[in-house]
Every structure is written in C-alpha cells, then in structure tokens.
Amino acid sequence: MNDQQRPDRDYREVNFDGLVGPTHNYAGLALGNVASMSHGGLVANPREAALQGLAKMKALMDADYLQGVLPPQQRPDLGALRALGFTGSDERVLARAAGDAPQILRAVCSASSMWTANAATVTPSPDAPDGRVHFTPANLQSSFHRFLEPATTGRVLAAIFRDEARFAHHPALPATPAFSDEGAANHTRLAGGHGDAGVHLFVYGREAFGWGSETLPAPKRFPARQTLEASQAVARQHGLAESQTVFAQQHPEAIDAGVFHNDVIAVGNGPVLLYHEMAFLDEAGTLEALRERMRTPLIPVRIPLEAVSLEDAVSSYLFNSQLLSNPDGSMTLVVPGECQENASVWRTVQDHLLAGANPIGEVVVKDVKQSMRNGGGPACLRLRVVLGAEERGALAGRVLLDDALHGELTAWVERHYRDRLAPEDLADPALARETLVALDELSGILEIGSVYPFQLG
Ligand code: SUG
C-alpha cells in the first residue's frame, strides 16, 4: 500500500505496559537473568510493584505519550499443576505442589506476564504488505513459567486488537527449542518517523539448525533464548521482505554476562539505535546492513565498553530504557532508578547521551525496583505498538490510559493486592481465591470480555 492509498498519516507509538499481577514474587526462575537468579527467595511486595508500574504509566501519559495497559494473567495456574499430575481440590493441588515440587509451584505463580516486551512481536501497518498490524505472541518456550503465558496473551491481544480489517493475529511459533521466541525484546523497528517505512532488526542468540558447524560462536555459561529460525519465521508470518529485515547475532559474551534479551543492551527508536559496543557479534556488519536498507540515515549512539562495563550495563539496565519521540523531533530516554545509583553509568548518561550529537534531549528516571529485582526494567514492562489514528480508534476494550482509568486501576490494586509475598505464601489457597476475584473485576474495568481460563470454563 502506498501513502496515497493510506490517508492516515497520524501514526503514534502506544506503549502497552503489563499490569503487575497480585502474585508477583521472587522465585529465582530465570537462568541467565542475573537479577532473578540473585533475588530468588526475597519477600516481594506485589502492591508496590503494581503501583510502581502504574506510576510509570501515569507519568508518561501526563507527558503526552500514548499509554496502554495489558492485564496480568491468571496465577497460580492451577490448570498447569493439574496437567502435571496434581489432582483433587484446588486446596489439595496447591498443598501437594508446595510439598512435592515447590519450584513448580513458584513457576505457576509467577507474575512474569508483566514484561510485555516478551508478549509478542508486532509489525505496524506501514510495513506489512496487507496494510494491517501484525501480531505473533512469543512462545516463551525457554522457561516453564513463561511458556504458560502465550495462550492467554493471544486471547488478550485478539480481544483488544479485534478488528480483523486492521489487525492480523498469527499463532505462536511451535514451542520447541528450534523456534525459541522471546518477542519484541529481540526486535527493534528503525524508521524515519513512526508512520514511515521501517526496517526490522531481529537479534538472535543462536542458530538452531547451524550445529555441526564448528565455527558458530555460542555462549558458554547461560542459554541463548532467541533463535535465528524463530526470528525468520516471525518475519515471514508478517510478510516482511528481505529488504525490510536485518538478522543480527547477539554477542555471546554479552549473553554470558547476563544479557538474556537484546533489550538489555540496545534500544532503538525512529532512526536512533542506542547500543553497547558488545551488543552484536558483528557490529560493523549489523550497522551496514541497517544503513543499506533504511531510507533515512541511521543515527547510531554507541556506548563503548570503557564507558560502561557489561556488568554495569546489566546491573543498571541503562539500555532497558524507553526511547520516546517528542513532537519537536527530540527524544526522551526513560531509565530505571538504578542508572542514577551507578556513577559510571550516570556519567555516561550526561556525557555520551545528553551532551552527545544525537536527538536524546531528556532523561527521565523511574523507580520500578520491584520489577528490576526480577530483571525487568522500563523497556521490559511495555509492548510497543505503532498505530495510526484509525487503528487507535478501532481498539476494543478500555485499555488506553486516562486519568479515570488510572484512578480505577490504582484503587483496584489497593483493594486487592497484598503488600508482602514470601515464597511460602504461594501455597495459601486464599491467595488463589483473592486473585480470581481481582481478575474478574479487572476484566470488567478493562471491558475486554472473557480472557481468563476461569472465565472460559
Ligand atoms: O524472562 N524474569 C524475566 C524478565 C524479563 C525481562 N524482559 C525483557 N528483558 N524484555 C525473564 O527472565 C524472573 C521471575 C522470577 O525469577 O521470579 C523472570 O522471569
């Protein structure tokens, strides 16, 4: 479709943040995610976590960015426990899981759907051959607790992006290691403006069918979650041509240092790619491939290793920031509070980012510590969906944040969430009951219909 056929030029990015669920806890479930591995067993505060997320959403809404919200999932996932052979009443299923397999119980209680950067990969309509917005829920097969997400994620996305004339939904890829897919966390769209033709940078950690070749570099310590084959399949589903895509291998040393997704070491927006020197195995080749395909000059903002070590990149989550476009052409970087607490990172923000020759004119600090302790920064908490005005008008449900919705969600959290959740509390049948009551009420607030297993019968 060309620009004349498409009258709608008012494309804007809507950030759909995941609302933190009532069972938010620290279970140490994610191998290769240093924060999750080191905080397992801590007492979590689900109420504070959800309110921190809502405060970030509100601050961005107040600054005139478009903000959406995606609901949490049904946890504990008693259906998953039953599938694993735990039988009897809900109480008995929980008690047996707590006794026999506490780590499985923790997994089925994880509120990990809050990290909506892993919910799906999205291709905006200006790039798709059929002029629709395309969605593929990520299969998240690399960990059991996250593999539980895509079924509900698919229903939620289909409920909100319901209009088939404008939105296309693809099935999650086969949930097997060859097609291991972690969604938008490994996908960056680069374009002049949001409504211009974009180039899609897919970053993968390993090649599934490349074994046998001695030369393929691979991480040694931690798993590579995304495969090249998965990224290629998503691009194929969305109808992206070779001229619109770049597939780049993530640096294995970065994965071994705790960079389990590309969005822990790079972030792009418009023509800007902010990245760490160690983000890509072939840095020069990746930039060259982007430049060849982009219709507007790429603006690389490179942070060298001597300015920020991999360890500091991982502990501060500098790159897990939201890079947002402003009407005057400048950009705002939303960083987690941990960046301010790290002297070399904070100096880099001042010297390389704010003082550098790039469009980043402002840095905003947000406290999302509850999520950060599980390895989820500001960028993990949101799914970016570029939409034209008509597409925004076609959204179903009440998912675009305004003051009224923010107020209702805040009151809902305050009514239903605990302020203390230790691993041993997860077996409490009252927690499961509280969660169902809360989620039923939430689907009413968001007007998204029945999306949860307990509502589907
Ligand atoms: O998949 N942590 C998530 C964090 C995801 C961050 N997302 C992005 N980088 N886009 C993960 O590793 C930890 C859960 C626990 O240990 O309780 C967890 O699943």
Q: What dotted CATH number matches 17-75+110-456?
A: 3.75.10.20
| pLDDT tens-digit readout, 264-294 | 999 999 999 999 999 999 999 999 999 999 9
pLDDT at position 216, please? 75
Residue where the block lists tokens 């920031």: 321
Instruction: Report residue 383 as tokens.
Output: 């799914």
Q: Residue 370 and residue 51: Cα distance in Å, rounded? A: 10
Q: Residue 345 and residue 241: Cα distance in Å, rounded? A: 38
pLDDT at position 214, please? 61
Q: Residue 361, Cβ neighbours under 10 Å: how many?
A: 14
15, 20, 23, 29, best to mutate for ligand 1 pocket (most atoms within 8 Å of CB): 29
Tell me, yes or no, if the pTM score tops 0.85. Answer: yes
Choice among 13, 48, 149, 182 that is catalytic: 182
45, 104, 118, best to mutate for ligand 1 pocket (most atoms within 8 Å of CB): 118
Choice among 149, 169, 276, 380 that is catalytic: 380
* Cβ contacts of 388-394, under 8 Å, gap ≥ 24: 388/6, 388/8, 388/9, 388/10, 388/11, 388/125, 388/195, 389/8, 389/10, 390/8, 390/166, 391/8, 391/125, 391/133, 391/166, 391/167, 392/12, 392/14, 392/66, 394/162, 394/163, 394/166, 394/167
pLDDT at position 271, please? 98
Residue where the block lists tokens 């969305």: 238
Cα-Cα-Cα-Cα dihedral sign, residues 124, 264, 276, 228? negative
Atom of ligand 1 nearest to the CA of 112: 19
Centre of ligand 1 to C-alpha 212, Å, is 31
Tell me which DSSP letter residue 417 carries. Answer: -
pLDDT tens per residue, the chain (457 residues)?
Answer: 444 444 457 999 999 999 999 999 999 999 999 999 999 999 999 999 999 999 999 999 999 999 999 999 999 999 999 999 999 999 999 999 999 999 999 999 999 999 999 999 999 999 999 999 999 999 999 999 999 999 999 999 999 999 999 999 999 999 999 999 999 999 999 999 999 999 999 999 999 997 666 667 899 999 999 999 999 999 999 999 999 999 999 999 999 999 999 999 999 999 999 999 999 999 999 999 999 999 999 999 999 999 999 999 999 999 999 999 999 999 999 999 999 999 999 999 999 999 999 999 999 999 999 999 999 999 999 999 999 999 999 999 999 999 999 999 999 999 999 999 999 999 999 999 999 999 999 999 999 999 999 999 7
Centre of ligand 1 to C-alpha 261, Å, is 10
Q: Residue 239 and residue 389: Cα distance in Å, rounded? A: 23
Mean pLDDT of the chain: 96
Task: Please state the separation of Cα 22 from the chain's center in Å.
Answer: 19
Choice among 170, 261, 352, 406 that is catalytic: 261
Q: Residue 58 and residue 407: Cα distance in Å, rounded? A: 10
Q: Residue 116 and residue 357: Cα distance in Å, rounded? A: 31
Centre of ligand 1 to C-alpha 36, Å, is 7
Catalytic annotation on 182? yes
| Domain range list for the chain | 17-75+110-456
pLDDT at position 210, please? 73
Instruction: Report residue 263 as tokens.
Output: 């969005």
Rounded to 5 degrees, what angle do the CA atoms 214, 216, 222 make? 115
Catalytic annotation on 109? no
| CB-CB contact of 209 with 159 (8 Å) | no
Catalytic annotation on 24? no
Centre of ligand 1 to C-alpha 105, Å, is 17
Centre of ligand 1 to C-alpha 315, Å, is 14
